[in-house]
Chain A
Amino acid sequence: MGANDTTGLASVIGQPVLRKEDARFLTGTGQYTDDVSMPRQTHAYFLRSPHAHAAIRAIDVVKAKGLPGVIDIFTGADLTGVNGLPCGWLITGSDGKPMNEPPHPVLAQGKVRYVGDAVALVIAETVDQAKDAAEAIVVEYDVLPAVVNVVDALAPGAPQLHGEAPGNKCYTWALGDRSAVEAAFAKAAHVTSLDIVNNRLVPNAIEPRAALASYNRAEDAYTLYVTSQNPHVERLLMTAFVLGLPEHKVRVIAPDVGGGFGSKIYLYAEETAMVWASKRINRPIKWVAERSESFLTDAHGRDHVTHAELALDKDGKFLALRVQTTANMGAYLSTFASCIPTILYATLLAGQYTTPAIWCEVTAAFTNTAPVDAYRGAGRPEATYVVERIVHQAAVEMGIPQDELRRRNFIRAFPYQTPVALNYDIGNYDQTLDAAMEMADVAGFGARRDESQKLGKLRGLGYASYIEACGLAPSNVAGALGARAGLFEAGEVRVHPTGSVTVFTGSHSHGQGHETTFAQIVAARLGVPVDNVSVVHGDTGRVPFGMGTYGSRSLAVGGTAIVKALDKIVAKGRKIAAHLLEAAETDIEFKDGKFSVAGTDRSKTFAEIALTAYVPHNYPLATLEPGLNETAFYDPTNFTYPAGTHICEVEIDPDTGVVEVAAFTACDDFGTVINPMIVAGQVHGGVAQGLGQALLEHCVYDRDSGQLLTGSMMDYALPRADDLPSFTVDTKVTPCTHNPLGAKGCGEAGAIGAPAAMMNAVMDALAAVGVTHLDMPASPQRVWNAIRQARDPALVGHA
């Protein structure tokens, strides 16, 4: 097994241990939600609104209910006693009032507000029968005018979605010292302004959302298999807030999950309705989204419109940053929607820089589109995009090299209190910038640009020196900011009598490789082989509790909970060893899997201690419980601050507008790295999603009808193998100061740094032909038009 035979702290931490989970994924024996089936299973199909905005006058299900195979059909009117889906974060506006929080019904109640809004749940013996019945349901709609664009939604006279949200406004919220910012702008030597759009995205995990809900009448208990990143949160929200069921009667299992990227954090209408209906029909119900349903109803990402201004002194020192953003919430508030463009966005606007004054105002609005929530990075890519695009622009305007302007403003003294609430514990931004520049051969860029020019191509280089706040989150801080839940993590370490170990973690792996990384942590600490450690996740029936996986929190928070449980295991093992070795507990050392009496050759192996704990014949039973099984809950004391520099090089064909990503380099500081192979993989995937946003992806609704125009993989361009280059990635380490692993998190960095790095490279390349503005994605049509309009300003407005 090679690498997997290593034991001991020094040998196993930082090793590219091959993944334990891969064998099942590679042989077709993974178990995803749709792979689970139950006896007497039925199939669900959701009838959805074909309109973006309409009042429902009547729904006639009589004919549909009589069709072959149909078991039952439920509409909003049937769901008596069922509450709406909750939002987990209360934002208090600048006016001191709570955000407008309209109801989010599980099935439409009187009105539909986006194309895809669920109207009826049809249950039949087969999917085809359920679909046939859905077609036979007659819904009478009064179609209303729709609004899909966030700026349009806030304009006077816009169609109104909710009585509870006048003017379609959810909130206006602000962070920072506005008067300090105004004063700094008044004395600035230079001001750079930027208007940018952060394009709306569809997460597109390759496994569509799915659920299998069942009810056991004898036990009066429910089991839900669901594609979730956080089964305990799913259960808590569903039972306590929506269905009013006791938690101990509901087991939620998130088995193998085929990617999440944020889209599987949330409590969705489908599984909620199915759990409720499983008792009504007393049979299991399965539903698997078709890809078109995923496009229509998975929570989308981004969709910001921003005006930003940066004030600088004559030497290029940043004096102040002023940012105004409008954020699209979609038709209803999804589970964490409200905190994404506020708490996870405005707080990151200091970036890696000493900007002393920052003020950011965010207005969030409802539109007739799918709900918008966290998508890989969640607020932090949007913040990085604002900061790094405007820094690029300022450097161009002031004639200062890109790296030099960044260096003149880097934070170098830690801890550092930003003017936007965060306290960075540690970092070394020069180190990652220097290394990235060397890895990207910035010195050779001029020659490469000349070569491109000879071929009639435009070549550009772009930087993004990003920061993120991960390891969500200190619960008391989150609570003060409006979180309606804690953000700790739980871990249980169960040592078996023969010394092998099962870990139960509240984190959830949907591709991140926790079964391997967490096993490495246990192996290092207990001195057992990685293969003697199994990791269990994704089951409320087996794992004590969990807040789940998002926000790059699994290692920093979930991993630390495991470390805390391991501390308890070692402490108890030390007591047992002291008894067996007839020594004082304080004289017992634990190293490389052995408890020894200090200064002697007397020792007991970890396996001997484990066996003694379960066969306690010679054991201090009067003072110590038998067994070796410990649980810990860990609540972090601060966020973690991964940071780094990404450099992108593009080549553009001005005749066609085609942008080729020639090279992409990422040098990141994620703190201590447990498994560098997995970390590099996370960066690759994040970069691909970031480049996807900058190069290809754009979710578009028709401005008049509100229909989703990019509703399939044939209309929405996901990055394919031939759209991307191989990447150059490396890490530098400043260990996080406030968790024992020194870990900061790595899952989102690529998606945070890449869009800004790539668009800065595109702007650098297009500067040669006079282009000064371009929004993502840099599609051939947009780039070609920008070049054409720069050459002939008369063409502006004639795209």
Chain B
Amino acid sequence: MSVSLAMTVNGKPVAADVDARTLLVDFLRNQLSLTGTHVGCDTAQCGACTVHVDGQAVKSCNVLALQVQGASIVTIEGLIAEDGTMHPMQEAFRDCHGLQCGFCTPGMVMSAIDLVNRHPRADEATIRAELEGNLCRCTGYHNIVKAVRQGAAAMGK
């Protein structure tokens, strides 16, 4: 069954007819070619597919595109300014070596921004607890935690 869909993605209006069972992540990757959002597990465990829906971090592999009808979606691609400047959290991940293979990174950055929005002065324990829904197999989280603290400080300025 095909249904009409309209939403805002990275600040631009988007409309499409999609199969009703289309997942948000597949809509973003396959229809909009926004391949920065990744699929790592299919069971909402790894968080590689995390995007922002109306400002909140959501695992897009467990949401139907139809469920976010009319919403404003931001993906990793949408964090970059017109002139190519990265978001302070993206910069912090680079400065702190908070990524290795890069596959979990977009989801990790989207979760980190949501975390800082809710806990602007989060300590290490809070950051670790809040990142529980995003798996990274490369970094051991050490430098991710460092990056989130640095990114939080930069976002607060």
Residues of A within 8 A of B (CB): 16, 18-19, 21-32, 34-35, 128, 204-208, 256-259, 261, 288, 290-292, 510-513, 677-678, 680-681, 684-689, 712-714, 718-722, 724, 726-727, 750
Contact = CB atoms under 8 A, between A and B. Distances in A.
Contacts of A22: 93-94, 99, 102
A727 B140 contact: yes
B145 A257 contact: no
A663 to B, nearest CB: 13
A256 B102 contact: yes
A141 to B, nearest CB: 26
B50 interface: no
A18 B95 contact: yes
Contact of A681 (B39, B94, B100): B100
Nearest to A22: B94
- The 8 A-B pairs at the shortest CB distance, nearest first, are namely A28-B36, A25-B102, A258-B103, A688-B140, A511-B101, A511-B100, A713-B45, A684-B140
B45 A513 contact: no
Contacts of B129: 721-722
B97 A259 contact: no
A18 to B, nearest CB: 6
A257 B138 CA distance: 12
A258 to B, nearest CB: 3
Contacts of A714: 43, 45
B48 interface: yes
Contact of A718 (B79, B80, B97, B137): B137
B76 A726 contact: no
Interface residues of B, number: 53
B43 A291 contact: yes
Contact of A257 (B45, B101, B131): B101
Given A28-B77, A206-B40, A720 B102 contact: no
Nearest to A29: B36
B43 A721 contact: no
B94 A28 contact: no
Given A27-B80, A721-B131, A684 B139 contact: yes
A207 B124 contact: no
Contacts of B90: 26-27
Given A26-B90, A261-B137, A684-B140, A713 B101 contact: no
A726 B145 CA distance: 8
Given A22-B94, A290-B42, A35 B99 contact: no
Interface string B104-138: 11100100000000000000110111011011111
Given A26-B90, A727-B142, A259 B41 contact: no
A153 to B, nearest CB: 30
30 contacts: A23-B94, A25-B101, A25-B105, A26-B102, A27-B36, A27-B77, A31-B35, A35-B35, A128-B21, A208-B39, A256-B102, A288-B39, A510-B101, A511-B101, A511-B138, A513-B100, A677-B97, A681-B97, A681-B100, A681-B139, A685-B140, A713-B41, A713-B43, A718-B137, A720-B132, A721-B132, A721-B141, A721-B144, A722-B131, A724-B128
A720 B134 CA distance: 8
A680 B139 CA distance: 9
B143 interface: yes
Contact of B128 (A204, A713, A718, A722): A722
Contact of B135 (A206, A512, A684): A206
Given A207-B101, A259-B137, A724-B141, A291 B41 contact: yes
A19 B141 contact: no
